[in-house]
Structure 1
Amino acid sequence: MRFLTIIIFILYLIPNYGQEANKAGTTAAQFLKIGVGAASLGMAGTSAGLVNDASSMYWNPAGLIGVNSISVIASYTDWFVDLKHQYFGIVLPINEDHKIGVGAMILTMGEMEITTEQQPKGTGDFFDASDVMVGLTYSARLVDFFTFGISVKYITQNIYNETASALAVDIGTNLITGYKGIKVGMALTNFGTTMTLAGRDLQKSYDPLPNNATNVGIASNLKTEAWELPLNFRVGIGWDFIGKGDVMIYDPIHSIKIGIDANHQNDGPENASIGIEYKWQNLIALRSGYYFNDDVRKLAGGFGLNWDVPQSFAVGVDYAFAELDRLGSVHSISLKVGF
């Protein structure tokens, strides 16, 4: 009965696709929507109820409670049109019930030559752009079956001589049902202030009385429009179907995890994704996933390799790809080290 209730709850939250207008392009800091950690990306980002490593600082801060040792993650995605997306994070467990972590996300592009109406082939000067996020995460186990997490983030975007910045928080929870390996996760991400570009190129001299020869221009600034952050509410179910511990089917060698996530965002229609992971001896992992009601993303997949040196350290390398329709494929790789 409890299992049926959980399934009905998740299905209720999965979007009714036809009811929301597409609001693409109405928020700033779109780099915050590029996922991190090839393990999650290979499962189409189905992470709300599954993620329990350092990448949880991005997906659901409540998942950080699953990190039991000092852990480091480095993730790299070769995004389209020569954009480079990177994420770095470190987790420092305080004790079994309290964990903290620090993460940083960076999106960069190569230099581009400036063009004008008078010089459409280029002026000989160049500009670049970059986006940066730095965050601090805290996660706690409130009771045996419920965890909570919060992240505080500083976000900045830079293009040529202009900069915009904002503060935001992420809040997440995880519910461990105790029934056949089922977990339910929820996360509200990028709830924060608006972003407004400012910089020296917006500084102008304004003369309120141009016909007065003795009048002096006033130093002024052009005001740009404020843009909201890409707010997202994610809810998902994670199911440890086969494996050890609290699972549906016990197997000491093979394990299978299944994830289903639904997203409600303020700049586009709701979407959902489903993913599956198979592991052998906790050494080799194969992953696949699919995005529903997503204009760009469809199929995802990947694999991972893990090495565990007893009483020393553990290393994991993961790879993922995603099909972005007309934009082609993007590839991600991540390295995880635990001490």
Structure 2
Amino acid sequence: MRSIFLTTILASIILVNSLGAAVNGPGTTAANYLKIGLGAKAVALGENFTAGSEDTSSIYWNTAGLSSIKNARVDFMQLNWLAGISAKTIFGAAPLTEKDTLGVYLMMLDTPQDTVTTFAPDGSNSYHKTDDKFKSAISVLNLAYSRVISTALNVGLGLKIISEDLAGEQAGGAALDAGIIYKDLLPSLTLGASLQNLGLKQLRQDEEYPTQLSLGASYALSVFRNRLNLLADVKIPNDNDLRFGVGAEYWLGNFFAGRAGYNTFSKFSLGLGVALSSLAADYAYVPMGDLGVTHRISLGYTFGLSKKSAPAVVKPEASETLDLSGESAAEIDF
């Protein structure tokens, strides 16, 4: 299984490097809204979620993480982005069998209505505002499938169907996501790799999608009898330099989580999470310098939630605990 994991990563690196040879840098790819991180939990962790994916946002970050979902679940996310742009996303996932899980999300992104401006309508080499208005809308539908290959290895695939209406100009395209998660290297350690936005049908001729390979690690341990998750990612995009980041999540009991993250693009992020039986709520705050601040709120509901599915807490008499997917968490006593 280790050889499968390593071979997959090597092949993905070669693929991304070959795609990167066709672009020159930032702004040279199309559909850059595909880079907008989905799911408040993952974003609060600095978008370092390649190995930590275990909820419905796995459809975006690493499709292999869907295999950690043991009960049908739906989530809704509201994003307040920059320049008045907003997005709504609904996620859903359900296990079909003990080894097979299906997931879907629909993202709908809207821009504020603006005035049409023409250039030099009278030949004076100037700009002129008209009475016409325009508005752009984008939707991304992602259909995902994950399978448990063994107790150590999960794999997943996702198909993105993209639709654009940019000021009346319409276009459609499709892209592929793929992911793998490996859990048998060390106790409490999870490794992950995901390939995002591999173009199947381009929106327009000679335009490339922002393809990215992400490599991640997640380590679970116990601090003061509560669960601490540490995460790290390295991202290799086809239109920019290599990026890296780290994140941490600390649960107080089964109910409240504090999160923080960092990556070399958007820098620092913070967030909170609350879990009450079948209901969950998450929030992410991401300052982006002079550009402003972005906010994400996610609400989720899990059907038929069992006690085993709740966030883990280390009991005083135990030296190990189990998380959603059955991984053990190392314990450190203070």
Superposition TM-score tier, normalisation by shorter sequence: 0.7 to 0.9
Structure 2: distance between partners of 1:109 and 1:67: 33
Residue 334 (1) aligns with residue 306 (2): no
Which one of the candidate residues 101, 107, 111 is aligned to 2:103?
101
Which one of the candidate residues 253, 256, 261 is aligned to 2:233?
261
Residue 103 of structure 1 aligns to which amino acid in structure 2? Y
**Alignment match, 2:90:** 88
Contact 1:189 1:233 in 2 (8 A): yes
Residue 261 of structure 1 aligns to which amino acid in structure 2? D
Structure 2: distance between partners of 1:91 and 1:194: 25
Aligned pair count reads 281
Distance 1:157 1:103, change over 3 A: same
Matches within 5 A, 1:145-164: 145-164=152-171
**Alignment match, 1:275:** 247
User: Offset of 1:180 from its aligned partner?
Assistant: 2.9
User: Considering only CA atoms, is the larger Rg found in Structure 1 or Structure 2?
Assistant: 1
Which string of whole-angstrom CA distances, capped at 9 and with x for unpartnered residues, describes residues 65-98 of structure 1? 0111110011111100000022211112112211
Which one of the candidate residues 233, 248, 270 is aligned to 2:213?
233
Contact 1:103 1:136 in 2 (8 A): yes
Matched position secondary structure for 2:207: coil
Structure 1: distance between partners of 2:88 and 2:114: 20
Matched position secondary structure for 1:58: helix
Matched position secondary structure for 2:33: helix
Matches within 5 A, 1:105-120: 105-117=107-119, 118=121, 120=127
Structure 2: distance between partners of 1:269 and 1:24: 9
**Alignment match, 2:177:** 170
Contact 1:73 1:89 in 2 (8 A): yes
Q: Unpaired runs of 5+ in structure 1? A: 14-19, 198-224, 243-248, 309-313
Structure 2: distance between partners of 1:196 and 1:322: 30
**Alignment match, 1:221:** none
Contact 1:298 1:325 in 2 (8 A): no
Structure 2: distance between partners of 1:179 and 1:282: 25
Matched position secondary structure for 1:143: coil
Matched position secondary structure for 1:57: helix
Structure 2: distance between partners of 1:323 and 1:22: 28
Residue 230 of structure 2 aligns to which amino acid in structure 1? I
**Alignment match, 1:215:** none
**Alignment match, 1:303:** 272
Structure 2: distance between partners of 1:164 and 1:24: 22
User: Offset of 1:142 from its aligned partner?
Assistant: 0.5
Q: Unpaired runs of 5+ in structure 2? A: 14-20, 304-334
**Alignment match, 1:323:** 287
Give TM-score, length-normalised by structure 2: 0.80
**Alignment match, 1:246:** none
Contact 1:141 1:148 in 2 (8 A): yes
User: Offset of 1:121 from its aligned partner?
Assistant: 4.6
Query: Identity of paired residues, percent?
Result: 27
Residue 296 of structure 2 aligns to which amino acid in structure 1? S
Give TM-score, length-normalised by structure 1: 0.79
Residue 139 (1) aligns with residue 146 (2): yes
Contact 2:175 2:201 in 1 (8 A): no
Moved more, 171-180 or 29-38: 171-180
